[in-house]
Structure 1
Amino acid sequence: MDEPGQLTEFGKILLIGVMGVLLVLVTLLLGKIISPKNPTPEKLTTYECGEEPVGSSWIAFNPRFYVIALVFLLFDVEMIFIFPWATIFGRPELIAVDARWGWFTLAEMAIFIGILVIGLIYVWKKGDLEWVKSHAVLPRVNVNIPKSAYEKLNREPYPVRKFEPFATEPQKGNTSQNTENQIKRPAFKPLLRKPGGTSS
């Protein structure tokens, strides 16, 4: 019969958690009691990597920081899986029972890490890990228009004219009147479609 005072494995984890919380609280309490109290405006400002804060904190945040954080989180979680794997399957007792355990666990972890590395290489090749992309990728569309037609259009000079929303038209009967007396008509004729689908 087992002794009732014996700790289970969950009890050990609970004890470690309680001790961790107590150590943090005791450290903060000692810092509050022992540290000198001499507040100044410089000491009370927000500290951010040694830089003085300027302006409001409600600003647009660069989304590239999230990419760096996601890559870090991905490989941080990977390390959390690797440590228990190494401690459990690296025991000599398991290897002594069956030597295939070592090769099986090695292949299993190689597949796990390989999937993550393939994803990292894919993102790296796309240039998503670069802070500033060195070159812009222009979209390409396959069309049957020859390239010489585009070059001809680009070489032709196009005069810039003043935009006038209404084109003027002289009145009938007297073309020598002042432009103020001329009738203005729209520069385009709008097409009004009826519910039946025909245009007026």
Structure 2
Amino acid sequence: MRPYPSWELEKGLFGKPVVGVDEVGRGAVAGPLLVCAVRFHSSPEVKWRDSKQMSPLQRKSVFANIVESSCFGIGLAAPWDIDRFGISFCLKQAAEEALAEIPLDDAIVVFDGKRPLTTEVPDYQCMVKGDVLLPSVAAASVVAKVIRDELMVCLDSLLPGYEFSAHKGYGTKTHLEAIRCFGITAQHRRSFLRRVLEQALF
């Protein structure tokens, strides 16, 4: 198992407060896209990793500690907006919505990955594996994942049969079979499904 993300590395690299930004749901075929921005006001002991390296129970166990030690913002893009405007535009809008809830004047925004979700911020940097190395970016990935997963559980209760609580809107075999049986809902991204359904079902 990799070591936990490091405050020492984060502070040593940037020398100023960091606002970590990450997204979840980019590749799903149903449900919202969600972007989270996190800025810590203290340096709690890091017991979290990139959300993909944690189980649902582990993510929930550290969620309260993260949100109590930080201010965070959330941006959402609905499936119908993704179909209408495209994923790139929606990522930018959701990132700006999340960042609007965070004080940025003396901080640097660090985006996970090679490209910024938006450049409409005073100071930013991109970092490959930022969610693995930096506590603030890893925390953003955890908060984003926990909140989106809970939203998908709620959708499961509203749209029984699709098993959203299990696959969280991703294009699993079970999900695609449910679409074939019950049809496409308003929570599905038709622009994503077109190609997936052609390949998997037809």
What TM-score do you get using the length of structure 2 for normalisation? 0.16
Q: Which has the higher contact order (CA 8 A, sep 6+)?
A: 2
What TM-score do you get using the length of structure 1 for normalisation? 0.17
Choose between structure 1 and 2: higher strand proportion.
Answer: 2
- Structure 1 or 2, whichever has the larger Rg, is 1
